[in-house]
């Protein structure tokens, strides 16, 4: 589960509180669920995100994205909430 909350309303609030760069990165992960570290950094820069490392660290700390061995993956809870239409991204 997300470290800050287990409630759906709070997930919505977390997403609403994201900066435009963080939201763009989260949209990227909805489309490309799991991406290697090097590629995601390059791709996020191409989307206009100036500091991909900072954005990835924030999304990871919020539990929206998980860091694996050499890759980043959107959390299952976020992806399911987006699919159900509970969180608009």
* Positions of the chain with pLDDT under 70: 1-9
Instruction: Please tell me the predicted confidence (pLDDT) of residue 10.
Output: 87
Instruction: Please tell me the predicted confidence (pLDDT) of residue 5.
Output: 44
**Which domains does the chain carry?**
8-84 (1.10.10.10)
Do the Cβ atoms of 63 and 5 come closer than 8 Å?
no
DSSP label at residue 3 = S
Query: 22-37 pLDDT, tens per residue?
Result: 999 999 999 999 999 9
87 contact partners, CB below 8 Å, separation of at least 6: 11, 12, 15, 78, 81
Instruction: Please tell me the predicted confidence (pLDDT) of residue 24.
Output: 97
Do the Cβ atoms of 22 and 59 come closer than 8 Å?
yes
Instruction: Please tell me the predicted confidence (pLDDT) of residue 39.
Output: 97
Q: What are phi and psi of 63, to 5 degrees?
A: 80, 10
Do the Cβ atoms of 23 and 62 come closer than 8 Å?
no
């Amino acid at each position: 589960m997300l470290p800050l909350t287990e409630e759906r309303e709070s997930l919505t609030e977390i997403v609403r509180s994201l900066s435009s760069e963080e939201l763009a990165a989260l949209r990227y992960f909805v489309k490309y669920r799991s991406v290697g570290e090097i590629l995601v950094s390059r791709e996020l820069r191409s989307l206009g995100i100036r500091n991909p490392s900072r954005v990835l660290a924030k999304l990871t700390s919020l539990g929206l994205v998980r860091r694996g061995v050499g890759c980043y993956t959107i959390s299952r809870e976020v992806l399911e909430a987006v699919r159900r239409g509970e969180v608009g991204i």
